[in-house]
Chains A and B, each alone.
Chain A
């Protein structure tokens, strides 16, 4: 397998020369093609980013990726809290593009949500983003247009705190996890629309049935399947898209090309994990190394020591590790256990550590379908949840936050849950909520339709937040999949089941048959996107516009 990092790149050329060169190269068969390079680190307050197509090769077949300044991931941007940054983004694609600064608090015109907060960046034009950086921590940016996020347009943002860094580390590495497919993402979506279990090769078979009969008896084997079959629910439906088409990347490297970070024994290393995947959850661990989670979605939290955490699409966790051995594997297996992204922490290049086997895929449980009939909170369904667009409703969703989720329950490792996350300093706004907005996450897997309240985006109405109000958002997941829900422009402050402040984040995983609630201060005027960060769910309609006025 070819390495993206080892492909020949043009040395010592400026970006502009390089891009001019690209155009020439593509016409010059006698010169080797230019491949995407690893992400550079750019710092300062003025940036020039150019979006273009660049060749990559992750599977043995060259493909075109959507890159920024010729790299995949896009360059890591280092900003300082309090600075005003100016970012000139030039679109050299032949379609409209955009860059959204994920988790950043800024004027809506600068948010980069194509079709919501601006019209996008037309081909061969430059859009200038300019805004004051009002926060610190680890964030990321990505395209909010077409299929460009799936084809590579994502990169890290590191913002240094104005008052100096309180998280002490000798080394600091960004770890961008992502998923790559050689297929045209539109073709992937097309397949899912026609056969929603297209990528699931982990379904229950007759052989599994025979195995279950042998192990538990016929009645138990039948009962186990009964309700799922009656409702046409698939307990192995853990991920719409699997390693059948995906190649999982860590900083743009395949498991084989093994991205490696160096350290000296005894050093504290800060690893900034970002899930930039389109449709994948990663369960991340570093065997034989405890991770102290110190930040979630850019916000410092009370340190918590864990063996493993689940990273939903668009979430970030910063962890501190203090390795004592020579080499460790960073192991990020996909939630459906069909593949993994991998990197290495080592005292010198070339060292590797054992790569663990993938865990066995754990089917969804009744908890993921029924919620908590005894102790759940009654959900208030929308009248549009009784039609063809919704294949399941949960009347009594579970509200507990201490569940790591399917595949991570009782695995013998200390796995992070949302109940472990406590933002340092607590809430930004002590006011109680003056009203509730209840929104249900809905879908019909068979039709591959995803929506809120059973209504896909194109048929929906915007949601109005009244400027200045403090409101409670109640999300009820009426599906059997976990959805990372991201509200642009405003922080979401998660509540505990009994209504106390838990953690401030920009993206929340809502588990199947779960109800969560968070408070929002509607202090950002304008038009904002609110959506599931699973790319294909967003595309088919799990999306809303929020108007703050």
Chain B
């Protein structure tokens, strides 16, 4: 018996048996008691004596099979998470947030783009080209480049990060960026779907950006630069198409806020959004 299963078995023994035995009838009570075991049920490192999945092949390989053909094919997807009109006092703009990918289950080429349009002009746009690679059951690693355009001069970054689901189905994007001047940046985005009904879904969403150095050319200060926190209510007419309305609070922070003040721009604002979420 390997070490992990032994520990596991011991824990099982250590647990209250009467609880275990009526687990199926009253599993609610029991779940708390099992916290210690959860970690070993997903991911982790294989123990030394884990089985070799090829142990039963006796040297046969799939490619040596007479009729075998690899019929795997690429998938393609475009997910427009948000395409919305943003209304603030005396101002209107459009925001988009999309992901397009091509590939298979564990490796995909991914384009991730987010930006604002005002009066038909791109104000602020972040476009990333990434290689997404599955590293754990729920997380992909990302490696690639980011290009910023809009206000100020265009700018390139190297990007590396993760995207996936944290416990409780918390959708997470977390990415570090480095540019050729040695500046670093960090961006995090969290989304959570609250099912009110099977089709009516409330989605809290938070995004924050951090920078290592002041960047007056782009009006970005060091440290936490800006935060957006929104609440969107969408209705999924079908899985692929859902219009929504929402409200979002956006604020610049620290030196970024100081730059904003110096340029007579708003430091924080409440926005009303209405848009569509769709994919195919």
In the complex, are the beta carbons of B38 and A227 less than 8 A apart?
yes
A179 within 8 Å of B by Cβ?
no
Closest to A395 in B: B8
Closest to A227 in B: B31
Given known pairs A205-B197, A374-B21, A545-B68, the reply for A453 and B137 (CB within 8 Å) is no
In the complex, are the beta carbons of A366 and B23 less than 8 A apart?
yes
In the complex, are the beta carbons of B50 and A374 less than 8 A apart?
no
A383-412: contact bitstring with B at CB < 8 Å (1 yes, 0 no)?
111111111111110000000000001000
In the complex, are the beta carbons of A382 and B167 less than 8 A apart?
no
In the complex, are the beta carbons of B106 and A461 less than 8 A apart?
no
Q: How distant is the Cα of A447 from the Cα of B136 in the complex, in angstroms?
A: 11
Given known pairs A193-B105, A365-B23, the reply for A386 and B239 (CB within 8 Å) is no
B1-25: contact bitstring with A at CB < 8 Å (1 yes, 0 no)?
1101100110111010100110110
Residues of B within 8 A of A224 (CB): 27-28, 31
Q: How far is the CB of B34 from chain A (nearest CB, A)?
A: 6
Q: How far is the CB of B271 from chain A (nearest CB, A)?
A: 25
Q: How distant is the Cα of A382 from the Cα of B2 in the complex, in angstroms?
A: 12
Closest to B59 in A: A464
Which residues of chain B in 60-117 are interfacial with respect to chain A, using CB atoms and an 8 Å cutoff?
Answer: 60-62, 65-72, 75, 77, 105-106
B180 within 8 Å of A by Cβ?
no
A498 within 8 Å of B by Cβ?
no
A226 within 8 Å of B by Cβ?
yes
In the complex, are the beta carbons of B106 and A366 less than 8 A apart?
no
In the complex, are the beta carbons of A388 and B134 less than 8 A apart?
yes
Point out the residue from B11, B46, B56, B72 that lies within 8 Å of A385, measured CB to CB: B46
Residues of A within 8 A of B68 (CB): 115-116, 545
Closest to A371 in B: B12
Q: How distant is the Cα of A379 from the Cα of B5 in the complex, in angstroms?
A: 8
In the complex, are the beta carbons of B51 and A201 less than 8 A apart?
no
Q: Which of A1-9, A54-62, A229-237, A298-306 contacts B (4 or more CB under 8 A)?
A: A229-237
A373 within 8 Å of B by Cβ?
yes
In the complex, are the beta carbons of B62 and A198 less than 8 A apart?
no
In the complex, are the beta carbons of A382 and B20 less than 8 A apart?
no
B138 within 8 Å of A by Cβ?
yes
B54 within 8 Å of A by Cβ?
yes
Residues of A within 8 A of B134 (CB): 388-389, 447
Q: How far is the CB of A182 from chain B (nearest CB, A)?
A: 14
The size class of the interface chain B forms with chain A is 35 or more
Given known pairs A190-B75, A191-B239, A370-B34, the reply for A203 and B50 (CB within 8 Å) is no
Residues of A within 8 A of B182 (CB): none
In the complex, are the beta carbons of B65 and A116 less than 8 A apart?
yes
In the complex, are the beta carbons of A373 and B20 less than 8 A apart?
yes
In the complex, are the beta carbons of B167 and A527 less than 8 A apart?
no
A44 within 8 Å of B by Cβ?
no
Q: How far is the CB of B248 from chain A (nearest CB, A)?
A: 21
A443-454: contact bitstring with B at CB < 8 Å (1 yes, 0 no)?
010111100111
Which residues of chain B in 205-231 are interfacial with respect to chain A, using CB atoms and an 8 Å cutoff?
Answer: none
A169 within 8 Å of B by Cβ?
no
Residues of B within 8 A of A116 (CB): 65, 67-68
Residues of A within 8 A of B249 (CB): none
Point out the residue from B28, B65, B137, B168 that lies within 8 Å of A527, measured CB to CB: B65
Given known pairs A194-B279, A206-B195, A446-B138, the reply for A226 and B165 (CB within 8 Å) is no
In the complex, are the beta carbons of B165 and A527 less than 8 A apart?
no
Residues of A within 8 A of B8 (CB): 373, 395-396
Q: How distant is the Cα of A79 from the Cα of B165 in the complex, in angstroms?
A: 54
Q: How distant is the Cα of A462 from the Cα of B57 in the complex, in angstroms?
A: 5
Q: How distant is the Cα of A251 from the Cα of B260 in the complex, in angstroms?
A: 71
Q: How far is the CB of A372 from chain B (nearest CB, A)?
A: 8
B120 within 8 Å of A by Cβ?
no
Residues of A within 8 A of B65 (CB): 116, 462, 527, 545, 547
Point out the residue from B42, B52, B54, B69 that lies within 8 Å of A393, measured CB to CB: B42
